[in-house]
Amino acid sequence: MGCLLALTDDLLADILIRLPSPADLARASASCASLRRVVTSPRRPARALALAADFSFAFLPAPARAWLVRDHRDGRFLLDRAAPAGSTAFTEVAVCDPLSRRCLLLPPIPDALAAAVENPYLQRGGDDGGLQSRSNEIFLASRGNDGRGEELPFAVIWMACCRGKLVAFSYCSGSREWRALSPPVHHALSMRRVMGVRLGQRNHAHGCFYWMITLTRRWLVLDTCKMEFSILDISPVLAGRSMMFSNQITTLESGEGRTTVVVSDLFRADKRCVLYFYSFMHFSDRWQLQNKITLPEEWGDRFRGIIGAFEGCLYIKLDHPKQNLGDPVEKNVTYFWFDLKTMQVGRFTEISAATVNEAYLYTGFPPSLSLPSV
């Protein structure tokens, strides 16, 4: 024990992040006060993780710079790159763990399934020479942990909006096979309206993914436990509110399996932005209004949506004040955190709108400092 106490906290953190399971981490933290202090200090594990992991993903097949991050969940990252054939719909896909520098290259989607994809609409791209332009959306769906430190299978979901229909496939790490999913046939997903499903702007809570179908006041829902789609009418809670952007609504995981939905009420006569908090156990339940919060007055014209939520905090995107909108040097975007318990607000970053189109929130990595299996 004397040798252990001689180690610095940073060295202890570097050792702890390499433990193979949450159970091992719990036993280590219970063994002495020094280890317990390091485990409960988020700064030190985060610093050790940044030094130990390879977030450049140089361990992926060359050229590494061609791979683009599409999603992350439970310590795993999902990346893809353009396929040799040059298709914007079908790309090479990899799931990797930057801490262990391990990756799994997914097999191509079989031709029999790919034949269902006809003239897919282009999803949101970037200004990087077309590398980010694609006609699909891919993301991770975790199957959780069995409580004994053994990783359960994860899934990769592939989706595309085609003319008058959605096409979706799933890949399970257990079976290592692609299979077709069955999106609902519904008038909300008609030929014109299916273009309004912004696949990249999804919300998640308790194993379900949610997408706003613009102009319809409905949600497209994917329950990844059942791997089933459904359409949910949410018009009762949106009555009288202008829903111009998909990120005006977001979901949070609440206690006891409940889901909290945050609805942003914009374009009000008083120029204020008001957040309404609703709660439900099952997404087919009647939503219960839990709270109503009016954001700072100076945010009224600058509010551009909620980019994510984590551990009781919302992360909010604001445009720069209007007086600077004509100045390209000062035309920045600022991101704030908003603590729902203490009602405190803080700024955590500012980026130039002239150089960065969009920013994404990465949180909760890795889970309980354990090593996920890829």
Q: What is the pLDDT of residues 73-120, one digit of tens each?
A: 887 899 999 887 777 789 999 999 888 888 999 999 999 999 999 888
Q: 3-class SS at 144? A: coil
Residues 112 and 177 in one domain: yes
The pLDDT tens digits of the residues spanning 311-336 come to 788 888 888 776 544 555 556 788 88
What was the pLDDT predicted at 180?
97
What was the pLDDT predicted at 363?
67
Which residues of the chain, if any, have pLDDT below 50?
1, 125-131, 146-149, 324-325, 367-371
Long-range Cβ contacts of 229-234 (<8 Å, 24+ apart) = 229/166, 229/168, 229/181, 229/182, 229/183, 229/184, 230/184, 231/184, 231/186, 231/188, 231/189, 232/283, 232/284, 234/287
Residue given tokens 């079976």 in the structure block: 175
- Both tokens assigned to 367: 């889970």
Q: How far apart are the first and last CA of the chain?
A: 34
Residues 6 and 60 in one domain: no
Confirm whether 350 is domain-assigned. no
Closest CA to 107 of 145, 163, 146, 156: 156
> 252, exposed or middle or buried, with CB in 10 Å at 0-12, 13-18, 19+?
buried
Confirm whether 167 is domain-assigned. yes
Residues 24 and 137 in one domain: no
Residues 28 and 76 in one domain: no
What was the pLDDT predicted at 3?
57
Residues 104 and 26 in one domain: no
- Among the candidates 120, 154, 181, a domain finishes at 181
Backbone φ and ψ of 234, nearest 5°: -115, 20
Domain that holds residue 26: 1-37
What was the pLDDT predicted at 349?
81
Residues 77 and 160 in one domain: yes
Residues 6+ apart with CB under 8 A from 296: 345
- Among the candidates 181, 211, 234, a domain finishes at 181
Confirm whether 349 is domain-assigned. no
Q: What is the pTM of this model?
A: 0.79
What was the pLDDT predicted at 223?
93
What was the pLDDT predicted at 374?
66
Confirm whether 58 is domain-assigned. yes
- Cβ neighbour number for residue 149 with a 10 Å cutoff: 17
Domain count, the chain: 2
What was the pLDDT predicted at 281?
87
On the CB side of 250, how many CA atoms lie within 13 Å of its CA? 18
What was the pLDDT predicted at 126?
41
Confirm whether 208 is domain-assigned. no
User: CA 81, CA 301: separation in Å to the nearest integer?
Assistant: 38
